[in-house]
C-alpha cells in the first residue's frame, strides 16, 4: 500500500486546524488534499493525539505481520493435510491390494479389519 506523503503528526495538525474553526475547503486548499482525503483522515485521526497515533500505527503494523504469519501457517497445514491424505491412500492400496483410490477396508462389528476390500464384495 502506498504511504502518505504526510506523517501522522502532520495529518493530526491538519485535522486540528479544521476543528479550530477554519473552513474545511480552505484547509484542503492550503495543504493540497481533496475533501475525501480530509474526511477520511478526520474519521481515522479525529480526536487523537500524536502519541496515540504512533501507537495506532505500530498496532496496525503488528496486526499485518500477525495476519501474514497466520496465513502462512494455514497454508502449511493445508499442504500437510493434502500430503497426509495422499500417503494414506497409497498405504490403504498397498495393504488391501485394491487399485481404486480411497478404498476403505470393511470392518466387522467388533472393529477388527477384514481381509475384504470395500470394492471386492465387502460391505460397510
pLDDT digits (tens, 9 = 90+) for 49-66: 989 988 988 999 999 999
* CA atoms within 13 Å, Cβ hemisphere of 71: 6
Percent of the chain at pLDDT exceeding 70: 69
pLDDT band at 75 (very low <50, low <70, confident <90, very high): very high
First to last CA, the chain: 55
Residue among 71, 84, 57 at smallest CA distance from 1: 57
Q: What is the pLDDT of residue 115?
A: 53
DSSP 5: S
Q: What is the pLDDT of residue 103?
A: 47
Higher pLDDT, 24 or 86: 24
Q: Is the pTM of this model over 0.85?
A: no
Tens digits of per-residue pLDDT, 99-113?
Answer: 555 445 444 555 555
Mean pLDDT of the chain: 81
Q: Look at residue 114 and tell me whether its pLDDT is greater than 80.
A: no
Amino acid at each position: 500500500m502506498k504511504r502518505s506523503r504526510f506523517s501522522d503528526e502532520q495529518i493530526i495538525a491538519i485535522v486540528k486546524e479544521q476543528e479550530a474553526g477554519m473552513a474545511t475547503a480552505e484547509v484542503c486548499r492550503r495543504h493540497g488534499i481533496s475533501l475525501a482525503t480530509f474526511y477520511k483522515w478526520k474519521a481515522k485521526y479525529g480526536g487523537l493525539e500524536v502519541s496515540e497515533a504512533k501507537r495506532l500505527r505500530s498496532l496496525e503494523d503488528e496486526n499485518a505481520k500477525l495476519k501474514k504469519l497466520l496465513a502462512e501457517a494455514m497454508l502449511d497445514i493445508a499442504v500437510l493435510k493434502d500430503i497426509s491424505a495422499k500417503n494414506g491412500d497409497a498405504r490403504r492400496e498397498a495393504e488391501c491390494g485394491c487399485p481404486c483410490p480411497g478404498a476403505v477396508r470393511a470392518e466387522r462389528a467388533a472393529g477388527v479389519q477384514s481381509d475384504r476390500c470395500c470394492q471386492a464384495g465387502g460391505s460397510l
